[in-house]
Amino acid sequence: MKKKLLIIGSSQGVYGGIEAFMMAISNEAEKWNEFEVRLCFKLKDLKNKSDILEKLANENSSSVHFVKKNSFELYKLILWSDVLHVQNMPPDIVYPSFLLRKKVFLTVHNRKFKSKSILQYLWVLASKLATKRWYNSDFVWNSWEPNTKKANSACIPTVCNLSTTEVDCEKRKGFVFAGRWIENKGIEELILAYNKSKLSPAKWPLTIIGDGPIKNKIMNMISNADVEIHTTGFVSNELKTEIMSKSKWLVAPANTNEDLGLTPIEARSMGVPSIVTDDGGLTQAAGLYALVAIPGDVDSLLSCILEAAQMNEEEYNFISKRSKETLSDLIKPITFYKNEFLNS
């Protein structure tokens, strides 16, 4: 008899890193003969569901559910399941699952905030009820388990379907940023640093992929810059992969205690090294061969950009190769989850 696997997590209704991870697991799990799979996004208000999220979810799963928190539909899905892969530790999912003696695996994406609220106490208790806890970076793990690490906890960085596309180093050009346009992602600092670099946009172009709440601010900064900066808006995964693979450097200059940072991992899978800030889990995601700037510091980011542009071909080729090779030290193959769901 097949095991009933429910991949579930809270969502704001937009497509982001957690949603992409859930879809990747669901897409792969549907190929596992041992499981019947359902994918569920729990929303505060179903009106917040974006068309893009719904479209991508249905492309990656044959059984997609959007439910309200604490709803009858939510508890029906929990009752249906044998195994739950839960994102973070929402009490309205973990507690009933535990009481019904379901196997609960948590992927914890977000760091623990310093708070003494009742809700945080409920999260902490919920985490203790899980069969296993997988924290997506050492930074996140250390925030929840700062001293003694529990036996059924581990650091398992979250990944999506990583591309193996690799463009010859000499055919790559410039810098690329990919992510939601929100405060503290470092987009403003990147524009300012690139503008100060005086690099040739023809030889060292900057492409900024994405969209988001601060779009007007970013577009105004770009229009006032002295150099041309390319923007793409929201693009498909295929086009994002193409753009990233043809870039010399991925830039992720966040200043927000980033929990992990998926784009440096995506770039490394294609042999593209990163410029990142020493922010949260970004340096772990980018690896030992990344160039590292101070969060929020335009001049520090400028220094990294200039170092990248001045790097000779031999050194860049070495960094590119090692960035990709060492990625296997960080991430697990997606079949890791299959084995855990079956055998734990």
Give the C-alpha distances (Å, rounded to integers) separating 45 from 10, 41, 120, 156, 157.
11, 11, 22, 30, 29
Do residues 119 and 92 touch, judged by C-beta distance below 8 A?
no
pLDDT the model gives residue 292: 98
pLDDT the model gives residue 164: 82
Which of these ranges, 87-96, 120-129, 311-320, has the smallest mean pLDDT? 120-129
Helix (H) or strand (E) holding 35: strand 35-43
Helix, coil or strand: residue 13:
coil
pLDDT tens digits along 181-219: 999 999 999 999 999 999 999 999 999 999 999 999 999
**Alpha carbons 287 and 109: distance in angstroms, whole number:** 19
**Alpha carbons 302 and 196: distance in angstroms, whole number:** 7
Q: Per DSSP, what are the bridge partners of residue 291?
A: 275
Structural domains for the chain? 3-158 (3.40.50.2000), 169-328 (3.40.50.2000)
pLDDT the model gives residue 239: 95
What pLDDT band is residue 16 in, cutting at 50, 70 and 90? Answer: confident
113: pLDDT strictly greater than 90: no
pLDDT the model gives residue 163: 85
283: pLDDT strictly greater than 90: yes
Q: Directed axis angle between helix 262-269 and helix 237-245, to 10°? A: 60
Do residues 106 and 88 touch, judged by C-beta distance below 8 A?
yes
50: pLDDT strictly greater than 90: yes
Which of these ranges, 16-20, 74-78, 129-133, has the smallest mean pLDDT? 16-20
- Spatial CB neighbours of 286, under 8 Å, sequence gap ≥ 6: 252, 261, 264, 268, 273, 274, 276, 292
Both tokens assigned to 301: 């980011």
What pLDDT band is residue 51 in, cutting at 50, 70 and 90? Answer: very high
* CA-atom Rg of the chain in angstroms: 21
